[in-house]
């Protein structure tokens, strides 16, 4: 083992410590990749939100149907 963290592991750790923007510039990537990732993350967040809303709505309707079937419409 080399002293001072020299080698593949040391290089990997050093590369992980560099901030994201500097890493993108060093690798030659443009900022467009990060913007696209943000758009996909926002889209994913909206899709998950609407799916959870749909599941919650189904549960509420199912509970209402169960109540009506169990106790009848007069109890509402």
The reply to whether the predicted model has a pTM over 0.85 is: no
Chain segment 35-71, per-residue pLDDT in tens: 888 899 999 999 999 999 999 999 999 999 999 999 8
- Going from the C-alpha of 38 to that of each of 21, 51, 76, the distances in angstroms are 14, 20, 47
Nearest CA to 21 among 13, 11, 30, 12?
Answer: 30
């Amino acid at each position: 083992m080399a002293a001072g963290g020299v080698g593949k592991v040391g290089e990997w750790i050093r590369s992980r410590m560099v901030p994201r923007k500097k890493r993108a510039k060093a690798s030659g990537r443009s900022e467009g990749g990060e913007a696209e990732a943000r758009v996909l993350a926002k889209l994913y967040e909206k899709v998950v939100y609407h799916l959870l809303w749909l599941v919650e709505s189904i549960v509420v309707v199912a509970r209402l149907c169960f109540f009506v079937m169990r106790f009848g419409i007069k109890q509402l």
